């Protein structure tokens, strides 16, 4: 059976992960190979910061929030849950929230946000930034990781929109991931696809594939990751039209014909 290696963490319940289920529906075996570990940054400071945003809402209102990764959603949601009744998360949950991709949009909705923009209609930061500029908010808070692209804050600044960045999580590369990747390849006799979801932490595997191109076909979740692969000497065989399981699988199936 052909196999797909997803270079990401699975959902907490891997058996219900939508990427794994999508692969199985087309008779692909699959596995997840995490390449990054994540940790929250200064949760007590984040709780205080969110409480302050609510406390001064009348004097210095925030027009929108921006969260583009599931890790940032988890950090903010954790801070909201840990308010201990000292302040209400209602103000934060009522704000318009801009996000990238359907999975992150679904996650913020599950945590109580209702005014969600972007999502499936914004496959990357450039598209989302254009949507925010069109809405013309005055002040936004961007909850983000230590490592991120500048396209959103730069685009907003160029268009006169104040973008306040708050780092809420950090990512570190997992040691020995290239060896783990090689072990997965060596244990599979059928055709293998490797899916890259982000440049972060993926450099060693991209370089390995560039040196051993015939070992696997390669798919990228979107244009940003495609550009990263090209810079590292790997031309992807498929690029997902949208950052979701169905579009990704469709690209893989089309390239496999």
Residues 99, 67: Cα–Cα separation, whole Å: 5
- pLDDT of 15 reads 64
pLDDT (0 to 100) of residue 156: 97
User: Average pLDDT for consecutive 10-residue bins of the chain (257 residues)?
Assistant: 92 75 92 92 92 85 93 93 72 94 89 93 89 96 88 95 96 91 90 93 95 94 93 96 90 93
Other C-beta atoms lying within 10 Å of the C-beta of residue 214: 6
Domain boundaries, the chain: 3-35+174-256, 39-170
Show the beta-strand stretches assigned E in the chain: 3-7, 29-32, 36-40, 64-67, 97-100, 116-119, 139-145, 162-173, 192-196, 217-220, 238-239
What's the confidence (pLDDT) of residue 118?
A: 94
> Could you give the angle at which helices 102-110 and 70-81 cross, rounded to 10 degrees?
10
Assign a CATH topology to domain 3-35+174-256: Rossmann fold (3.40.50)
pTM of the entire structure? Answer: 0.77
Topology at the third CATH level for domain 39-170: Rossmann fold (3.40.50)
């Amino acid at each position: 059976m052909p196999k797909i290696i997803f270079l990401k963490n699975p959902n907490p319940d891997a058996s219900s992960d939508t990427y794994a289920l999508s692969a199985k529906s087309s008779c692909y075996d699959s596995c997840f190979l995490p390449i990054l570990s994540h940790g929250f940054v200064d949760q007590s400071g984040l709780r205080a910061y969110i409480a302050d945003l609510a406390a001064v809402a009348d004097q210095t209102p925030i027009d929108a929030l921006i969260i583009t990764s599931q890790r940032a959603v988890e950090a903010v949601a954790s801070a909201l849950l840990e308010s201990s009744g000292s302040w209400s998360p209602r103000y934060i949950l009522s704000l318009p929230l801009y996000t990238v991709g359907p999975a992150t949009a679904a996650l913020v909705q599950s945590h109580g946000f209702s005014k969600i923009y972007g999502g499936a209609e914004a496959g990357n930061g450039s598209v989302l930034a254009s949507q925010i500029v069109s809405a013309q908010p005055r002040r936004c808070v961007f909850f983000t990781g230590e490592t991120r692209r500048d396209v959103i804050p730069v685009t907003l600044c160029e268009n006169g929109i104040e973008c306040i960045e708050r780092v809420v999580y950090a990512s570190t590369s997992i040691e020995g991931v290239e060896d783990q990747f090689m072990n997965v390849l060596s244990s599979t006799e059928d055709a293998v696809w490797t899916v890259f979801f982000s440049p972060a932490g993926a450099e060693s595997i991209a370089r390995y594939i560039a040196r051993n191109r015939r070992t696997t076909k390669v798919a990228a979740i979107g244009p940003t990751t495609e550009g990263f692969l090209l810079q590292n000497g790997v031309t992807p065989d498929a690029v997902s039209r949208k950052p979701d399981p169905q579009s990704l699988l469709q690209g893989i199936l089309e390239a496999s014909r």
